[in-house]
Amino acid sequence: MTTKAKITLTFSVLTGTTVILLCTVVFFLVKKNKQQYFVSRLKDRASIVAPDLLAGEELRVLREDLDPLSEEQYFIVPVNGDGKATETQTTSRLPALFYDRVLSQGETWIVNQYVFHYGQLVSHEGKKFVIVVSARDELGKVRLSFLRNVLIFGSLGSILITVVVGRFFARRVIQPVSAITKEVNRISASNLHKRLPISTSFDELEQLKHTFNDMLDRLETSFEIQSNFINNASHELKTPIATIMAETEILLSKRREIPEYEDALRNINKYAQKLGTLTESLLKLTQTGYDGQKQVLDIVRVDEILLEVLSDLNILFPDNKVNLRMDDSPEDELLLTWPCNRPLLSLALLNIIGNAVKYSDNKEVFVVLCVNNEAIRITITDVGIGIAQEDVPHLFEPFFRGKNAGRYTGYGLGLPIAQKIIRMHGGVLNIQSEQGKGTLATISFNRASLKNVNLNS
């Protein structure tokens, strides 16, 4: 069943049920009102005819003053010494319960097929009698029958109109959703730049459009990153592979002297190392994932990780001038601990501090660790070549390299890997730089975000 049919059916059932209940209530209220009105007429007649019935006189007054009723009857039933009303052959046969209620309540009435019987208890010369007035409410029967027909046909007509209006209403409700579906079906990987049109109103459907457009923004960004990544990775991998193949082809083309073989093998080894480094970096980038959702395993001291990173830097850059300083050392050493994947976090810090050393040509680099109850913050400051402002937004794109970084070796993977590892650990990496003056990198781990870290206890 389509959504349009479901809306139509639901709307029709609810409206039809409401109309039927309303008509039923109206009918029974009108019926009750007419019964009360007719009983009041019988009660007036009982009061008028009681003296004549008790005196045994002819009911002339009634015929002169009141309109006659259909099948109108009057009779009197005496109450015997046992307190029971005893009918005679000249009276109608009424249920004993009717007389019991008259004797206990003073008056009552019953109705059967629009024939009403009203009874009233009266006293005359020390004796008790029950005055009974009976008549058929022919006019009430006709009017209630007419009302019943009107309500039945009115209900059926209302339900029919409800179905028609419900279909129109469902079409109006579903039309924007159908339009959204139609527009979304037109969007594919080849035209992810298209977006759903947004109006000035802000209802649930407009929120749905905004959600679709936000999703398309993320998808387009992901596709672009993936496309750029594949293109750049292919290009970067192609160069060392092509060089290695060229060297081997030259070696195999003819016999050569030993020094020539040694030179060729050194070139092959050089480009093989580049290929290995690049492949390892690509694997690291893949392991961290685009969204940074990876399980962390250890609880370690951040200062110890920094010392290990500085030790590794001394091997990679023997002439580095990295200065490590700790501000506001906490009294509680537990504040220095952080749940993390130790090898990955070390790799991220090594990439960031290593970049500071490399792009400052071994000038001084300042690493400051600040720890308090709210956060752990690491700042890396260098006075190197800096980054052009137009390059800053692209720093975390794989294989991107700044315009002034051409004379330095690298693949543009260090910062993307570091940024994803830090984000994976609930942290934030912020880069501020000015070309020719240096770069400031700030790594912040907010303790309030610790609950969002996927910690394996």
The rounded percent of the chain whose pLDDT value lies above 90 is 12
Range with lowest mean pLDDT among 83-97, 112-126, 280-294, 365-379: 280-294
pLDDT at 91: 60
Judge residue 288's burial from the number of C-beta atoms within 10 Å of its C-beta, 0-12 exposed, 13-18 middle, 19 or more buried. buried
For the segment 130-154, the average pLDDT, to the nearest whole number, is 90
Identify whether the C-beta of residue 145 lies closer than 8 Å to the C-beta of residue 126: no
Identify whether the C-beta of residue 295 lies closer than 8 Å to the C-beta of residue 339: no
Identify whether the C-beta of residue 199 lies closer than 8 Å to the C-beta of residue 206: yes
pLDDT at 290: 44
pLDDT at 145: 92
Place 455 in a pLDDT band, splitting at 50, 70 and 90: very low
| Residue bearing the bigger pLDDT, 303 or 274 | 303
For the segment 337-356, the average pLDDT, to the nearest whole number, is 83
- Count of helix runs (H) and strand runs (E) in the chain: 9, 11
pLDDT at 28: 93
For the segment 407-417, the average pLDDT, to the nearest whole number, is 74
In this model, does residue 69 exceed pLDDT 90?
A: no
Identify whether the C-beta of residue 424 lies closer than 8 Å to the C-beta of residue 292: yes
Judging by DSSP bridges, how do beta strands 321-327 and 364-371 pair with one another? parallel
| Residue 42 CA, distance from chain mean position | 65
pLDDT at 292: 45
Place 26 in a pLDDT band, splitting at 50, 70 and 90: very high
Q: What is the pLDDT of residues 189-203, one digit of tens each?
A: 666 667 777 777 777
The rounded percent of the chain whose pLDDT value lies above 70 is 83
Regarding the domain with residue range 298-452, which homologous superfamily does it belong to in the CATH classification? Histidine kinase-like ATPase, C-terminal domain (3.30.565.10)
For the chain, how far is it from start to end, CA to CA, in angstroms?
49
Number of other residues whose CB lies within 10 A of the CB of residue 167: 16
Identify whether the C-beta of residue 336 lies closer than 8 Å to the C-beta of residue 303: yes
- The residue with tokens 């370690």 is 300
pLDDT at 213: 79
pLDDT at 190: 64
pLDDT at 66: 66
Place 380 in a pLDDT band, splitting at 50, 70 and 90: very high
Give the fold, CATH level 3, of 204-288.
Answer: Helix Hairpins (1.10.287)
| Residue bearing the bigger pLDDT, 308 or 289 | 308
Contacts of 139 (CB under 8 A, 6+ apart): none
Judging by DSSP bridges, how do beta strands 115-124 and 107-112 pair with one another? antiparallel
Which residue type sits at 203? D
Which candidate, 270, 286, 347, places its Cα nearest to that of 316? Answer: 347
For the segment 304-325, the average pLDDT, to the nearest whole number, is 86
Place 56 in a pLDDT band, splitting at 50, 70 and 90: low
| Domains of the chain by residue range | 3-144, 204-288, 298-452
Strands annotated E in 153-209: none
User: Cα(87)–Cα(91) distance, rounded to whole angstroms?
Assistant: 6
| Residue bearing the bigger pLDDT, 231 or 385 | 385
Identify whether the C-beta of residue 416 lies closer than 8 Å to the C-beta of residue 292: no
In this model, does residue 274 exceed pLDDT 50?
A: yes
Joined tokens for residue 4? 């349009």
For the segment 71-86, the average pLDDT, to the nearest whole number, is 81
- The residue with tokens 């990876």 is 294
Range with lowest mean pLDDT among 5-9, 329-333, 407-411: 407-411
Phi and psi at 337, nearest 5°, equal -85, 155
Range with lowest mean pLDDT among 29-43, 105-119, 149-163, 323-337: 323-337
Place 289 in a pLDDT band, splitting at 50, 70 and 90: low
Most confident region among 62-66, 203-207, 271-275, 360-364 by mean pLDDT: 360-364
